[in-house]
Amino acid sequence: MKIGILSRKRSLYSTRRLVEAAKERGHEVSVVDYLRCYMDITAKKPSVVFRGNRLRFDAVVPRIAASYTFYGTAVVRQFEMMGVFSIAESQGIARSRDKLRSLQLLAREGVGLPVTGFAHSTRDTDGLLRLVGGAPLIIKLLEGTQGVGVVLAETTKASESVIAAFRQLDANILVQQFIKEAGGSDIRAFVVGGEVVAAMIRHAAPGEFRSNLHRGGRAEKVDLSPDEHDTALRAAQTMGLDVAGVDMLRSNSGPLVMEVNSSPGLEGIEGSTGVDVAGSIIEYIEENADTSDSAQRTHT
């Protein structure tokens, strides 16, 4: 099988592991910088071109950076138009990257979430704070990623100051309930093909409330409760993602989803759990990519 990894850097851990896993199973694999691709959008023979060559894959693995979501999803969508199997559909990637839309979709499906308010330039700061239960609370820039643009406001005065500052940026903001009982920890469940293949709990570094590993957090394997397992699967399904990292908080009212990641990293989850997650992804491709008529398809 011909597999394309859509990634900006071959040297990234997740990209390297996917390449290794594919080769170990006897597949032909190529790493393609999706930003360097261009597309021939025609009715009968749509194609994706890279370095002058029309790409011909049976399946692709999108590793689309958040800052390049628009063009990256356009490339994935073009492969879909060609009949190429993708482990993450372009629509699912787009949904997960729009924080507001993803929360709205999850809420509609009854998935547990922290109480959340959304605003742009409201001057009714008191009303917004009351909406989520008051301080302490989390204030996020809607466009932020990997913990950037996320502030813990511990008092009402601090909350008002942060919201006023973000308002000066002409930014969209999310204001969320602070889940104190989570203790600065969160859970990532890695979903592949409707199954949780691995799960880790991440603990924030001392003095830090964000548990992101690149901010000094640490991770270890965790056993999910039945409710957490079900929540992870429902969240991924709601986003339309067959491969996803679902981030949850443990609260007194049950698991609360913070985010569903369409390009979850493999280093932390494989290192903390010892699970061959990259291998699970390749196995999922083997089970779902239809190559029976690949000789006749335009991308072969």
pLDDT tens profile 98-124 = 988 999 999 999 999 999 998 886 678
Round to whole Å and give the CA distance between 212 and 245.
Answer: 13
Round to whole Å and give the CA distance between 267 and 265.
Answer: 6
Lowest mean pLDDT among 152-156, 252-256, 280-284: 152-156
The CA–CA distances, whole Å, from 91 to 173, 288, 293 equal 23, 18, 25
**Whether the predicted pLDDT of 24 surpasses 70:** yes
pLDDT score for 160? 87
Q: Can you tell me the mean pLDDT for 219-234?
A: 96
Q: Which CATH architecture describes the domain 2-94?
A: 3-Layer(aba) Sandwich (3.40)
pLDDT score for 295? 35
CATH number of 181-282: 3.30.470.20
**Segment 260-272, tens digit of pLDDT:** 999 999 999 999 9
Rounded to 5 degrees, what are φ and ψ at 265? -70, 155
Round to whole Å and give the CA distance between 60 and 187.
Answer: 27
Q: What angle do CA 127, 129, 132 make, to 5 degrees?
A: 110
Mean pLDDT, rounded, of the chain? 89
**Whether the predicted pLDDT of 208 surpasses 60:** no
Superfamily of domain covering 116-178: ATP-grasp fold, A domain (3.30.1490.20)
- Any idea where the domains of the chain sit in the sequence? 2-94, 116-178, 181-282
Q: With helix as H, strand as E and coil as C, how does the chain read?
A: CEEEEECCCCCCHHHHHHHHHHHHCCCEEEEECHHHEEEECCCCCCEEEECCEECCCCEEEECCCHHHHHHHHHHHHHHHHCCCEECCCHHHHHHHHCHHHHHHHHHHCCCCCCCEEEECCCCCHHHHHHHCCCCCEEEEECCCCCCCCEEEECCHHHHHHHHHHHHHCCCCEEEEECCHHHCCEEEEEEEECCEEEEEEEEECCCCCCCCCHHHCCEEEECCCCHHHHHHHHHHHHHHCCCEEEEEEEEECCEEEEEEEECCCCCHHHHHHHCCCHHHHHHHHHHHHCCCCCCCCCCCC
Q: Give 66 or 277, the one with higher predicted confidence.
A: 277
**Segment 115-167, tens digit of pLDDT:** 999 888 667 888 888 888 888 889 888 765 544 678 888 899 998 888 888 88
Lowest mean pLDDT among 27-31, 202-206, 294-298: 294-298
Q: Can you tell me the mean pLDDT for 71-94?
A: 96
pLDDT score for 209? 56
Task: Give the residue from 207, 162, 201 showing the smallest Cα distance to 185.
Answer: 201
pLDDT score for 99? 87
**Whether the predicted pLDDT of 296 surpasses 60:** no
Confidence of residue 299 (pLDDT cuts 50, 70, 90): very low
pLDDT score for 149? 73
Q: Can you tell me the mean pLDDT for 41-61?
A: 92
